[in-house]
Structure 1
Amino acid sequence: MLPLLSLALCSTASAAVLNTRSASTVAIDVDTSTRYQVVDGWGCSQAFQRAEDVLGKYGLSATNQSYVLDLLFSVEKGAGFTILRNGIGSSNTSTSNLMNTIEPVSPGSPDSTPNYVWDNYNSGQFPLAQAAKARGAPYIYADAWSAPGFMKTNGDDANGGHLCGVSNATCSTGDWKQAYADYLVQYWKFYQDAGVPVTHMGFLNEPSFEANYASMLSNGTQAAEFIRVLGATIEREGIDVQLTCCDDYGWTDQEALMAGLQEVGPDGKSAEDYLSVITGHGYASAPTFPLSTTKRSWQTEWGDLAGGFTPYTFWNNSGPGEGLTWASHIQVAFAQANVSAFLYWIGAENSTTNSGLINLIGDEVIPSKRFWSFAQFSKFVRPGARRIAATSSDGDLTVTAFENENGAIALQVLNNATTDQDIKVKINGGPAKSFVPYITNNQHDLDAMPSLLQNGNGHIQATVPAKSLVSFVQ
């Protein structure tokens, strides 16, 4: 047996629980021949000025700036996040949570020549994107919360409103769909020319939610009308970027948009034909089912925005910010919703809330248990991996498994029970494999344990402590 139990004991109180073992061994089967979706990875955003938190706005030293960036984006030194989600700004200032637009002044009409502005800073997001790319992050996802206010029915980049020119959104200034498409393409060009390619681009964020900050409303049909314009513009310009839509407030909200995106237009194509990824959030409804699409799907924003400050808690009472809660969210999203990527709202911020994975307090860096739960997946499951079949004979032990492009397997076993669980893992095919277990729970943060070798029957035997996440990594 792998001696995880002794390493997990930390106090008399916990020992009383952890010394109660399960009555029988749990069988876990991994089938490498049954393959599901391709994985793009895990990630976060530093939008709404949070990039500046990492860049030292509130006193984070240069040493700890590098440390935080390593934690987030270095696969050798940290979680190895592969996706950074940038906010495409729509405001004339970057005060408070606002993000600067690249077109601060209206040209007067949609057909007039725009005056674009680029400061090589982008509310702190550009230098942070440079740092993420330097650490190996392959995907920069640029997403707009809103078009500039002068392109919208309400004349404001905040408080909802619609893009002028889509169905049922007429403006006295005219149809701004093409101008908005040109605006997004120009944002891409600024990053491209500066050496940080934007790989994915979206033009909406939570279009069913009228927020008092940057926001823009849209239904599926309206989104489809703009996608056709943006898609044609990208093709004409020869831009190498993957389009996404629509980052709605909940998974069910995003599903409601799919019919509009799939309507066939005059050119015989649907808006979905122009898209590479369908994106949704987990706030209003969690990703628990596959979206109605053949495209890849990403869960691009979710977080605990209301919970207390619980950075050190993997499990206490199944609270919304606990590490076990987020480990479960990730497993469900990949196994039941077939997502290819899973992003938390903010990676690191100067805050004593749970809205970030890493808390920065002055020059103090506090990685939360949520962060380590993400790292149990992202560090070992790399872009291009495939989810493979994995089943457990006990409902208290939930499992996911992935096979990387190099053939290496990563199996995540989440013990939701209050008892230790003896497990026997069977992995089909191939010669005997050696695995290193990594554990996160209340006492451990992605700590490596002694390696294991499959026996002659292809089995691995181990003990997974109560309320723990263990990744078995080849």
Structure 2
Amino acid sequence: MIRAYFFILLLIFFISLSNVCYSQALVNPINVSIQVDGATRFQQINGFGVNANTRAWEGKELEPALNLMIDSANATIWRVIVETVYNWEDKNDNNDPFTFNWDYYNHLYETPKYQKAWDMIDFLNSRGITKNLMINFMGPVPLWMGGKLVKEKYEDEYIEMLVSFFYYARKVKHLQIGLISIMNEPDIENEGPTVDAKQYVKLQRKFIDRMDSLGLGDIHYVAPDVAGMGNGLNSYVPELMKDSVVMSKMAHIGLHSYAGYYANVDSALKHSPYPQTDYWMTEWNNWCNGCDDGMLGEYNYNFAAKSIGFLFEFLQHGATAGIIWEGYDSYYEHHAPSPFSYWGILAYDTATRSYTPRKNFYAFQQVSKFVLPGSWRVAVSNQSDSLTILAFYNETSKKLSMVGINKSHHPVNLNGTLNNLPVVTGFETYITSNTENVHHVADIKVKGKSFKTLIPADCIFTFTSP
């Protein structure tokens, strides 16, 4: 009995101590001072966007989700997914890869799989998504071409199949497509055909030449869309840069990461034969265990904050765009037998057949809504280990926006100085936390070049000038 009483007293002591520590954290904020310097510029931002699966198009059902991502999240870059697994050129259209059998393709491209693609692209075009609408093909190729690889003897047939899609889209459906990524993650299995760097560049060159010959030379490319950033830098990108024709058509280097910035991309590109080449993160997120395999993930604030923390890493190291994986839950043939993919920043409810935002939608919105295309990342100095802040200035709108994460359990007293920037009179402030979603809190007044504010503990925040 005495032991039990002693244990209870000890437990009360530790609970009281933890409450005191927590209270002290609330009343003892960390003091941080920063300087924002508009004279020191880094990369110009092309925009932010989402990966979007055409298979999910079901008439008007998907439109509210697409509208939400365009209107609320300002998603200006769309990587539109078309799978190559089934119901494409399952049988050869003819024995001449340089002559389209249009009786075959005309029938093929009016089947439901492709009608979904045309309708979704048309809808996005109607919302102004054109030059930054990118088509990416995912999954293995028809079995006779090689299945999980592209047999060398069928390379031209493979190219003919891909090119026929774009010719039909442009000439028959009159759709606007600005960018193409010819395959997905060629450095691993099943996400696309597995091809090494030399074959990848050979296929890319064949594709470019064929498109040019058909009057489709205005479309540009994003490559190599590899799963491993290191694979891209060490193998695929150097091989791409050996072909001047390929590089003349290259809009952006495309890379993927679900573990943050772990390869020296920025420096490698700046010291390459094409130092003006920029890179997009065409797939990025925090890794979600089971989400590819039909299992729901953890969609809490911690997951969302880690995901956006990765985006900040990419932006700090020169990325000009971030395309999150993925826009909404959907089904992928090349992930079979998985019943569904649950990576979406919008969750799909099968009962109501509707889409609703998850926490990482709001986290993404903290950046995408306020950092406008064309903005320049400018210098921010004297940050702390637990506080990350990035600043962006847009010359057209004259807006200065700062986005950041407070990783500490303490609030932060932030003192800021604005140098070499046009006059800023104040900032609107928005936060996303465990309990808030892009919540507009008290505005910040700027006096001269200085401002002060209190940043709550454990939150993603945005300051944006009116």
State the TM bucket, normalised to the shorter chain: 0.7 to 0.9
Aligned CA distance change for structure 1 residues 80 and 260 (closer, same or farther; 3 Å): same
Q: Determine if the alignment matches structure 1 residue 460 to structure 2 residue 435.
A: no
Find the counterpart in structure 2 of residue 83 from structure 1: 77
Of 31-40 and 281-290, more deviation after overlay is shown by: 281-290
Provide the C-alpha distance between the structure 2 equivalents of 1:118 and 1:300, rounded to a whole number of angstroms: 27
Shift of the 182–453 alpha-carbon distance from structure 1 to 2, 3 Å rule, reads farther
Deviation at 1:462, TM superposition (A): 0.9
**Alpha carbons 1:246, 1:279 under 8 Å: kept:** yes
Larger deviation: 215-224 or 462-471?
215-224
Runs ≥4 in structure 1, deviation > 6 angstroms? 12-15
The CA deviation at 1:448 is 1.4
Could you tell me which residue of structure 1 aligns to residue 239 of structure 2?
A: 260
TM alignment of 1:3-402, pairs within 5 A = 16=22, 20-22=26-28, 24-47=30-53, 49=55, 51-52=56-57, 55=58, 65-74=62-71, 78-93=72-87, 101=88, 105-114=92-101, 115-116=104-105, 117-119=108-110, 122=114, 124-138=116-130, 139-145=132-138, 148-149=141-142, 152=145, 154=146, 156=147, 160-162=148-150, 164=151, 169=152, 171=153, 176-177=155-156, 179-193=157-171, 194-211=173-190, 215-239=192-216, 240-256=218-234, 257-264=236-243, 269=244, 271-283=246-258, 286=261, 289-291=264-266, 292-293=268-269, 294-303=276-285, 304-306=287-289, 309=296, 313-315=300-302, 322-336=303-317, 338-349=318-329, 354-361=342-349, 362-363=351-352, 365-402=355-392
Deviates more, 1:239-248 or 1:219-228: 219-228
The aligned length equals 415
Counterpart CA distance in 1 for 2:330 and 2:143 is 33
Cα pair 1:423 1:464 within 8 Å, conserved: yes
Supply the AA of the counterpart residue of 1:145.
Answer: M
Q: What is the deviation of 1:281?
A: 0.9
Q: Quick check: which has more Rg, 1 or 2? A: 2
Counterpart residue identity of residue 81, structure 2: G
Contact preservation (8 Å) 2:406, 2:460:
yes
Deviations 1:344-373 (A, max 9, x none): 222112699751111111325431111111
Counterpart Cα distance in 2 of 1:353 and 1:273: 36
CA contact (8 A) 2:260 2:311 kept: no
After alignment, is 119-128 or 439-448 more displaced?
A: 119-128
Contact preservation (8 Å) 2:377, 2:393: yes
**In the superposition, relative to structure 1, how do residues 18 and 281 fare at CA in structure 2: closer, same or farther (>3 Å)?**
farther
- Tell me, in whole angstroms, the C-alpha distance in 1 between the residues paired with 2:43 and 2:221: 19
Supply the distance in 1 between the matched residues of 2:410 and 2:92 (Cα, whole angstroms). Answer: 62
Q: Deviations over 1:27-72 (max 9, x none)?
A: 12222222222222222222272x23xx37xxxxx5x744322221
Name whichever of 270-279 and 403-412 sits farther off.
270-279
Structure 1 letter corresponding to 2:33: A
Q: CA deviation at 1:17?
A: 6.0
1:228 to partner: Cα distance: 2.3
Q: Distance in 1 between matches of 2:301 and 2:219?
A: 38
1:255 to partner: Cα distance: 1.2
Which residue of structure 2 lines up, in the alignment, with residue 5 of structure 1? none
> Aligned partners of 2:140, 2:25: CA distance in 1, in Å?
57
Indicate how the Cα distance of structure 1 residues 34 and 325 shifts in structure 2: closer, same or farther if over 3 A, else same: same
**What CA RMSD, in Å, does the superposition of the two structures yield over aligned residues?**
3.0
Gap regions ≥5 residues in structure 2: 1-17, 270-275, 332-339
Q: Deviations over 1:74-125 (max 9, x none)?
A: 1xxx1011122122332443xxxxxxx3776442342453332322862633
Q: 1:275 to 1:103 in 2, by over 3 A?
A: farther
Query: Unpaired segments of 5 or more residues in structure 1?
Result: 1-11, 57-61, 94-100, 316-321
Q: Find the residue that maps to 2:442 and give its secondary structure.
A: coil
**Matched letter for residue 457 of structure 2:** A
Give the letter for the 2:308 counterpart.
Answer: A
Distance 1:358 1:465 in 2: 26
Contact kept? 2:54, 2:82, Cα under 8 Å:
no
Which region of structure 1 is more displaced relative to structure 2, 244-253 or 192-201? Answer: 192-201
CA contact (8 A) 1:30 1:388 kept: yes
Q: Distance in 1 between matches of 2:183 and 2:175?
A: 22
Distance (whole Å) between structure 2 residues aligned to residue 423 and residue 148 of structure 1: 54
Paired with 1:108 and 1:89, the residues of 2 have a C-alpha distance of: 24
CA distance in 2, matches of 1:273, 1:102: 30
CA change 1:333–1:22 in 2 (3 A) is: farther
In structure 1, the residue matched to 2:4 is: none
1-structure distance, mates of 2:43, 2:375:
9
Which structure shows the bigger proportion of residues in helix conformation?
2
Distance 1:473 1:37, change over 3 A: same
Question: For 1:314-352, what per-residue CA distance to the aligned partner results, in whole angstroms no more than 9, with x for missing partners?
Answer: 13xxxxxx111111011001112x111111222112699
1:42–1:374: 8 Å Cα contact kept in structure 2?
no
| Contact 1:263-1:270 within 8 A present in 2 as well | no
Shift in Å, 1:261 = 1.4
TM-score, length-scaled by structure 1: 0.79
- How far off is 1:444 after superposition? 0.9
| Identity within the alignment, % | 19
